[in-house]
Structure 1
């Protein structure tokens, strides 16, 4: 592999190998991967807590990793490249190198059909990569360095949510390369906006969670009309048929989608939240923090008395009321509240990342203390620890899905 990054610039675009090609591929394998400051990627036997393979990544520290849905490929986000490795090949070399970002890559995510890969970077851009050709299909330009992204799993992967260092959560149309919804988490102009460190979208695509530097978590209800895709496609066709039009055409999606705050809460008491992740079944949310803990949450709907003093108190707690569905007048209103399930206290330093098992029953966390830990979600207890990294562990990926 060439040591000079410029050696790749004149090469033909790479693409993933034929999916029928097999190395030591196992459909039912448990794939657990960690990486971080020590420039190494480690793959683990989750049952024995032993490292089975190490890949040296000498370019930079590793900021984020992601496993493809079929477990075959590992995407590694560094500075500034993204590299893909075959999980079941013994080779140290990547099978695909994605070049284009100019600064550290902060997030990477596969689409569920594995046709595309999304990345975000501190260079203020989001890139949408076609894995069939190995080329960048779309570039979304922002105003601030991006900290994270989350693909909306519904609507054919047409939309992506981002968070940035300017305090914003943005909902993008990938094909339009434009922002459809812009949220400033702290609207008080007298304060400096806090960086939004992490963003997550629920598996059903209906909830957005964002968290900031001060330990605050903000939960939004995402509503997207089924007409949005059709109207977006019509807009793109009209724009393509009139390329010389002087007046810029603007797509107005305000009546077709909405992101409404339904609750917010202080999860980590003024400390950085480094990561937020939904479980696969959508029942749990984990937040990781600089306070050396990870916390597991669930959301519940609470019926409360519709009294003036209680409504006033709710507004102070930043709880947003949702009116009941019954057409008849009632003396009750409903709130969405976050309930703490477990505080996971084991690590001796910052907790940077977490990954749920496919059945949502287990969770792996990683920390600056050089370790990873496997937790029983229902009991909130450590089952196994993984030791071997020489420096802090920043990211983890887990795929134990069975066929």
Structure 2
């Protein structure tokens, strides 16, 4: 298990239940905004507000690669092909870091200088979505090395805080400061399937169940909710936090 903080990354063994980290990775100078494992768990990537993307060998100390950007990185995700990392930043730039070429291979500013808060890639690797603070989803076809604009969604009337494709690739969820979660039909060019109402604060994060039928959401209202996506019903509301819940898996 990997946990990113400010500015360290800690690796834990969840099986042993020990609370002491197996390794602590040092190299970032400020808040870590994204972490992820390569599928065989041989290395991890991290993104940070220090304007860098780093690649770390989980069995070694120190980072093996360092990619420098020009603006604090807000989000990052590893492509299913395991060879590209997609990042978004505070200046509204989407970048693709090609690990084989060891460089940034694509750099796109979809619409002016607006913060891109989140990025997600479909499980088949064919679609990429990045979301803005102005409630817009920019969606590209990424089957080719050059991203092709596919759909632009005016999705919310406030900040989009996160976006996520479902494991089966049929749905896209967007969470917002407008206190709603919207579910979009990928196969029908991202038409709106459902709007989930129930949170009383900003919705920071979401996570699909493995069968894509349920969704967890985390909110500023201090709760985590479990939703039936098709019906829009809240199945369980989890309480216990006293402050903002910003992440859920």
TM-score bracket for the superposition, by shorter chain length: over 0.9
Match of 1:203 among 106, 112, 123: 123
Instruction: Give the CA deviation at 1:134.
Output: 4.3
Q: Which has the higher strand share?
A: 2
The 4+ residue runs of structure 1 with deviation greater than 4 A are none
- How many corresponding residue pairs? 249
Instruction: Give the CA deviation at 1:359.
Output: 1.2
Classify 1:391/1:125 alpha carbon distance in 2 versus 1 (closer, same or farther; 3 Å).
same
Instruction: Give the CA deviation at 1:175.
Output: 4.1
2:134/2:159 contact within 8 Å kept: yes
Instruction: Please identify the structure whose Cα radius of gyration is greater.
Output: 1
1:354/1:365 contact within 8 Å kept: yes
TM-score, normalised by the number of residues in structure 2: 0.96
Classify 1:214/1:180 alpha carbon distance in 2 versus 1 (closer, same or farther; 3 Å).
same
1:151/1:159 contact within 8 Å kept: yes
2 CA distance for matches of 1:176 and 1:260? 21
Q: Which has the higher helix share?
A: 1
Deviations 1:145-167 (CA, angstroms, capped at 9, x unpaired) = 1001111111xx22111101111
2:170/2:187 contact within 8 Å kept: no
Q: Which has the higher contact order (CA 8 A, sep 6+)?
A: 1
Instruction: Give the CA deviation at 1:86.
Output: 2.3
Q: Aligned residue for 2:161?
A: 274
1 CA distance for matches of 2:67 and 2:209? 31
2 CA distance for matches of 1:158 and 1:84? 22
2 CA distance for matches of 1:170 and 1:207? 15
Q: Aligned residue for 1:162?
A: 87
1:294/1:343 contact within 8 Å kept: yes
| Residue 84, structure 1, aligned to residue 11, structure 2 | yes
Classify 1:370/1:133 alpha carbon distance in 2 versus 1 (closer, same or farther; 3 Å).
same
TM-score, normalised by the number of residues in structure 1: 0.60
1:139/1:177 contact within 8 Å kept: no
Unaligned runs of 5+ in 1: 1-72, 188-192, 225-256, 302-336, 398-403
